[in-house]
Structure 1
Amino acid sequence: MPKPLPSTSMRNPPQRVPLIAGEARSDIVRDVSNVDSSQRNRAPGAGPHRTPLHALSAADSAWLRVDRDNNRMIITAILTLERGVPFAKVQARLVDRLLPYPRLQQRIVTPKFAFGVPHWEDDPGFDIARQTEVVKLDDPADQSELESFVGGLMEQSLPADRPLWRIYYVEKYVEKYVEMYDERVTSGERASDSSSAGAALVVRVHHCIADGIALLRILLSLSDEPPEITFPTAAAEWAHSGKRASIARRVALGTRTAARSIAHFANFLVSRSDPDTRFSTPLGRTKRAAWSNPIALEDIKQIGRASSGTVNEVLLSAAAGALGRVLEEDPQFESGLELRGVVPVNLRGDEPLSALGNKFGLVFMPMPVGIADSEARLDRVRESMARIKASPEALGWFAMLRALGRVPTWMEVLGVELFSRKATLVITSLAGPKQQLHFCGSAIEDVMFWVPCAGNVGLGMSMLSYNGRVRLGVTTDVGQLNNPTEIASEFESALRGSTNAGR
């Protein structure tokens, strides 16, 4: 097992994030452009001019409280670099790009009383050195070594006495993979020994700080040329119309949306739990992480054009097919089996980059894992997506999450356990930059991330496009699936089969 270099966090074992609750507002970005760089390593609130405390928002509090010893609510991401960068330059870039976000210099203050509200406060001992760490794996480190390291991190909490994020700089990482291009996919796959002695940045951020969209924006802001990208939003009609709609119309739309959401939740509560599979067994503390080889985005678009499907629908169908192939030897597996996947849905509008926090809803997506035929499986996914897009499900779940962030902890625990019995996995898909980016002059070869899970859900599947390629990141509980590479490999096979079928 690869071991990190000794550091503050490793000498003092991380403490578990307190299970606490609260609510509040977003912060404004602080301008640090005129502050001396030696002072920017320290929290702006240290000393006599401490900033006021800000309570956690209800949504942020909800994600803080679902953190468990066997299921950490921490988003993990990786940036792989073509060549290494001096660690001092890495830290300097982090200071310049991350410190303008006040939330990233703040820690959580636990209330003294049971019914108190937790707050953000500036960390008086903030130093970029306490948030970063150099890691040396085998020399050189390959994908399996890095996967093992990332899986081990997923078992750990973050120290509660400082901001709930940490970045590891992995030296001498060598990337070797099989790459599939559209013109070569007919012959299966072409082994391209694409390797270079580079490095990797492993980023861990607690979900109470930011959701996946906000985190991706932060990661991309670290590049030499931060890209201008937008993400689709599933805000309801009244949210899009905003102030242009009359008060009466907004009230009518809000009432109709609320009524449909209540009806949806009533049906959801009486619906069956997900069928028992290996992924419904109790969770342990040991986690595994893996990622697929890169797949050409043009191949995926070609599948979509041939079947009138979107890139997102093609990816979800391939993920369902991969999961079905892994499960087909289970005694519970049967033809036509469907498992629910929890899909995060962006509810942000055109908000500034400084708006961290959590603003997303959830939808429960039927995953047709028991349909072997790729065309029939894609048709089923397309039908489900059409239904979801026409429903207020995401907004309803966002309201529910905010409510869970305000109720006593024991009530939230019951709610999370109830909802987690209705799903088998968390799955998400994001479109990243179309062009290659750079970090301190070194080309960023790939960007990947792993979505956290909650309750008794231990399977996470995360898809991200970057620079014309797509990768799948998979995280599993070792008691449910010891080798998540099985899912990643079947995902590649499902896409190859769909591509060949469309030719």
Structure 2
Amino acid sequence: MKPLSPVDNAFLLLEQRQQPLHVGALCLFQPPPDAPPDFAYRIAERMRQSQQAMPPFNRRLIRRAGIRFWEDAEDFDIAQHFVHLALPKPGRMRELLAMISRVHAAHLDRAYPLWRIYLIEGLEDGRIALYSKIHHALVDGVAGIRLLMKTMSPDREGSLELAPPWEVRTRRSRTRTLPVPDPTSRSVTAFRALAREGAAGVWPILDRLRETRRDQRQGHPDCVTGLQAPQTLLNGRITASRRFAAQSYSTARVKAIARNHGATSNDVILAMCGSALRKYLQDNNALPATPLIAAVPVSTRRDDGTSGNEVAFALSHLGTHIADPVERLRSIKSCMDYNKRALKSLNGSQLLAYEGMLFAPGVVSLLTGLGRERTIVNVVISHVPGPRTDLYWQGCRLEGLYPVSLIINRIALNITLVSRHDTIDFGLIGCRKTVPHLQYLLTYLEEALDELDPQ
């Protein structure tokens, strides 16, 4: 038995009926040309032969004297964790995404290790899907994507020899956070590290905070703080229902737009999201006069390679107050450049402490209900690096890798994407009631590309 860490306990305590805290991914695969009609059934039968799960997939929760522990489960039950399903006809993406919306909304049973994988057949175009979900207390989203890639191979035949996902050892990312702003648990770790560094570690943070306050007072357009986001329909209370939407966009096209405008691919992606959200809120007569604010995880790893996986949340506006798409992109780029310059001046523990202080006013507002005209952020937009070559799983070519993230109360929409060598795969998850007709955002994302690249 191993006691849960404070962060793991926090993930479990924060979980509520309407707020499950597992993350997932939807993979789409194209079977080989000579695949028999029962191809998916044969894969399922191979998966069911598994008799073991490797850490952390064999760990289940137990309680002793009110304290939670991880225990290695001796009675691995593959039927509890692996499910083979077929879509109802006609088997369109619409039916698949509706199914993922339902199963992602359901909580994982805490009597078992906290994960489940679904093999789904019945798509009208002959493809098969693999949907997996795992609790954030076991594996974070970045580690989950890496795990899926470990079960795939660049060689079709070689992929047939690889073990199921739950038989592959994995480990958490060094920086463990929810895929939403979570300054409380992160700041505890940061302040412990700063205590060891002493005054030398604190002064850079104070300098950075002074510069931020100065820029804020002077009305610097690129300076975004933790209580600047306007209240929108995206920031209502969430229910237990979910709506998932997914779509792929050309990596080459996004990179070409970035080159043409002297921006990065991430700048273009944020501009796409800003344009889509502007149109969505206009449709609902709910576009605020001030710009929407996004929490954007930014890698801050140094070139020497010794700092591990350092990630901090940057606050960026999305230019939703700007009608011209090119001007919106330029404005977002300027804001992100400002963030990068600020973040690179701090080390890992300083970054987390600075982030906690930056988000503190918004967290207080979120918890107390004060300052209801403003909120901590409007949306979370995460960009995860994916595979750079074609990959195969059980003989099938990977055609889509869509993150299925989580949402929390008052932040009812999460946009996470995986960039692969040929496509950028968007996964949008939202509260079905708070963010109605979320799927319209996919059309607006495509229109945003057309605005920036009229071809």
TM-score range, shorter chain: 0.7 to 0.9
Aligned to 2:242: 287
Deviates more, 1:267-276 or 1:464-473: 267-276
Percentage of identical aligned residues: 21
Mapped partners of 1:131, 1:424: distance in 2: 34
Aligned to 1:238: none
Aligned to 1:110: 63
- TM-score where L is the length of structure 1: 0.68
Aligned to 1:72: 20
Q: Tell me whether 1:137 sits opposite 2:80 in the alignment.
A: no
SS of residue paired to 1:489? helix
Offset, 1:132: 0.8
Q: Tell me whether 1:496 sits opposite 2:446 in the alignment.
A: no
Q: How do residues 329-340 of structure 1 correspond to structure 2 at under 5 angstroms?
A: 329-335=283-289, 337-340=290-293
1:159 aligned to which of 87, 97, 109: 109
SS of residue paired to 1:173? coil
Q: Deviations over 1:128-162 (max 9, x none)?
A: 33211111221452210111111112321100011
Mapped partners of 1:309, 1:269: distance in 2: 20
Q: How do residues 88-107 of structure 1 correspond to structure 2 at under 5 angstroms?
A: 88-91=45-48, 99-100=53-54, 102-107=55-60
Q: How do residues 5-404 of structure 1 correspond to structure 2 at under 5 angstroms?
A: 53-83=1-31, 84-85=39-40, 86=42, 87-91=44-48, 99-100=53-54, 102-113=55-66, 116=67, 118-139=68-89, 141-174=91-124, 196-225=125-154, 254-259=201-206, 272=227, 274-292=229-247, 294-335=248-289, 337-346=290-299, 360-392=311-343, 398=352
Offset, 1:414: 3.7
Q: Deviations over 1:70-110 (max 9, x none)?
A: 12211120111112432022445x778xx44x111101233
Q: Is the 8 A contact 2:3 2:70 kept in 1?
A: yes
- Measured at CA, do residues 125 and 132 of structure 1 come closer, stay the same or move farther in structure 2, by a change above 3 Å? same
Mapped partners of 2:198, 2:287: distance in 1: 47
Q: Is the 8 A contact 1:151 1:289 kept in 2?
A: yes
* Alignment: residue pair count: 391
Mapped partners of 2:342, 2:355: distance in 1: 17
Mapped partners of 1:156, 1:106: distance in 2: 20
SS of residue paired to 2:27? strand
Deviates more, 1:80-89 or 1:283-292: 80-89
Mapped partners of 2:356, 2:64: distance in 1: 19
Offset, 1:444: 1.5
Aligned to 2:431: 477
Q: Deviations over 1:445-485 (max 9, x none)?
A: 11111221223211011122224111221112122222221
Offset, 1:326: 0.4
Q: Is the 8 A contact 1:74 1:452 kept in 2?
A: yes
- TM-score where L is the length of structure 2: 0.75
Offset, 1:494: 0.1
Offset, 1:343: 2.3
Mapped partners of 2:368, 2:204: distance in 1: 22
Question: CA RMSD of the aligned region, Å?
Answer: 3.9
Runs (5+) with no aligned partner, structure 2: 32-38, 160-172, 176-195, 217-222, 358-363
Q: Deviations over 1:43-79 (max 9, x none)?
A: xxxxxxxxxx223333333333322221221112011
Offset, 1:265: 10
- Measured at CA, do residues 444 and 329 of structure 1 come closer, stay the same or move farther in structure 2, by a change above 3 Å? closer
Q: Is the 8 A contact 1:107 1:123 kept in 2?
A: yes
Mapped partners of 2:420, 2:370: distance in 1: 35
Offset, 1:344: 3.0
Mapped partners of 1:64, 1:416: distance in 2: 23
Mapped partners of 1:388, 1:233: distance in 2: 22
2:403 aligned to which of 435, 445, 449: 449
